[in-house]
Amino acid sequence: MDITSLQNPKVKHIVKLREDKRQRQRDGLMLVEGRDELTLALGCGLIPQTILTAPELDPAPMGISHAEIVTVTRAVFEKISYRDNPDGWLGIFPTPQTSLADLKLSQSPLVIVAESVEKPGNLGAILRTADAAHVDALLVCDPRVDLWNPNVIRASRGAVFSVPTVAVDSPSALDWLHARKIQILAATPSAEVFYTAVDLSQPTAIAVGTEDEGLTDFWMDNADLKVLIPMMGRVNSLNVSIATALITYEAVRQRK
């Protein structure tokens, strides 16, 4: 066993990477935990710096090459893990650096713009929808949560690696969309047109905002389409990831 002490410097560093956004940014590193998430990250071409494994939790190898493999005790792994029931696999990866210029679009692109989404679970769920619907890109504008937060990676089930994703300020995202003649759709309770009644087969960016406040005036003022998701109960809004999924899959339906 390579590491048995909870006071090992590498263990302490991993705990800092897990808990501190500034530490991740300074080091340019992120944590990927779980066999499935690691498999997807590796399948998307990411190369790990270090893989930590606890044979007591999962003795089956993964066949990973080109990385330092470190074995740890169960107690050590439970200290570095951010899951309640860890499976014994965690990777330290360089943080991907993707810009708007790196994005490659289809003939009629479908893009999701997530403005100021503040909850890792919501951003992770949006990423899963983006992967399932095979959208061209996700633009995370003015983020309140770190894209490489371990809980975002966990909630996305690794989709953060398969979906072309860029963290960017809103004005830059708007200029990029305008330059590519991509219409911008915003969902708002004040709209008069249902989201199923507009043409989403042409190049479209679906803009969504925070749970409490929705989209800011910046995106509302620049939206080409404003649509309504019908609400027939007593609450006046849906979870942002659910709203995103509904509109995204309406675009998929129209395009099929």
> For residue 184, what is the domain's CATH number?
3.40.1280.10
Angle at 197 between CA 194 and CA 203, to 5 degrees: 110
Q: Residue written as tokens 């300074």?
A: 26
Q: Are residues 125 and 45 in the same domain?
A: no
Question: What pLDDT does 186 receive?
Answer: 96
Q: Are residues 106 and 38 in the same domain?
A: no
Does 175 fall in a domain?
yes
Q: Are residues 78 and 172 in the same domain?
A: no
* Chain-centre distance for alpha carbon 57: 27
Is-contact 186 115, C-beta < 8 A?
no
Is-contact 88 53, C-beta < 8 A?
yes
Does 19 fall in a domain?
yes
Does 85 fall in a domain?
yes
Q: Are residues 118 and 173 in the same domain?
A: yes
Structural tokens at position 160: 């953060």
Does 142 fall in a domain?
yes
Q: Are residues 225 and 132 in the same domain?
A: yes
* Chain-centre distance for alpha carbon 17: 18
Q: Are residues 48 and 126 in the same domain?
A: no
Question: What pLDDT does 1 receive?
Answer: 83
Is-contact 115 142, C-beta < 8 A?
yes
Could you say which of 78, 94, 110 is where a domain stops? 94
Residue type, 235: V
Q: Which residues of the chain have pLDDT under 50?
A: none
- Compute the distance between CA of residue 142 and CA of residue 163 in angstroms, rounded to an integer: 18
Is-contact 28 40, C-beta < 8 A?
no
Q: Are residues 116 and 201 in the same domain?
A: yes
Closest CA to 40 of 89, 1, 79: 89
Is-contact 88 1, C-beta < 8 A?
no
Does 4 fall in a domain?
no
Does 1 fall in a domain?
no
Q: Are residues 62 and 105 in the same domain?
A: no
- Compute the distance between CA of residue 181 and CA of residue 103 in angstroms, rounded to an integer: 15
Question: What pLDDT does 235 receive?
Answer: 83
Does 3 fall in a domain?
no
Question: What pLDDT does 17 receive?
Answer: 97
CATH code of the domain containing 34: 3.30.1330.30
Contacts of 154 (CB under 8 A, 6+ apart): 33, 34, 37, 82, 83, 120, 124
Q: Residue written as tokens 């899951």?
A: 83
Does 147 fall in a domain?
yes
Could you say which of 68, 94, 120 is where a domain stops? 94
Question: What pLDDT does 47 receive?
Answer: 94
Q: Are residues 251 and 211 in the same domain?
A: yes
**Residue 88 DSSP code:** S
Maximal C-alpha separation, the chain: 64
Domain that holds residue 251: 100-255
As for how many domains the chain has, the answer is 2
Q: Are residues 20 and 52 in the same domain?
A: yes
Cα separations in angstroms, 17 against 87, 222, 227? 19, 37, 40
- Compute the distance between CA of residue 103 and CA of residue 138 in angstroms, rounded to an integer: 10
Could you say which of 94, 125, 149 is where a domain stops? 94
φ/ψ (deg, to 5) at 152 = -70, -45
Angle at 202 between CA 198 and CA 204, to 5 degrees: 80
Q: Are residues 104 and 230 in the same domain?
A: yes
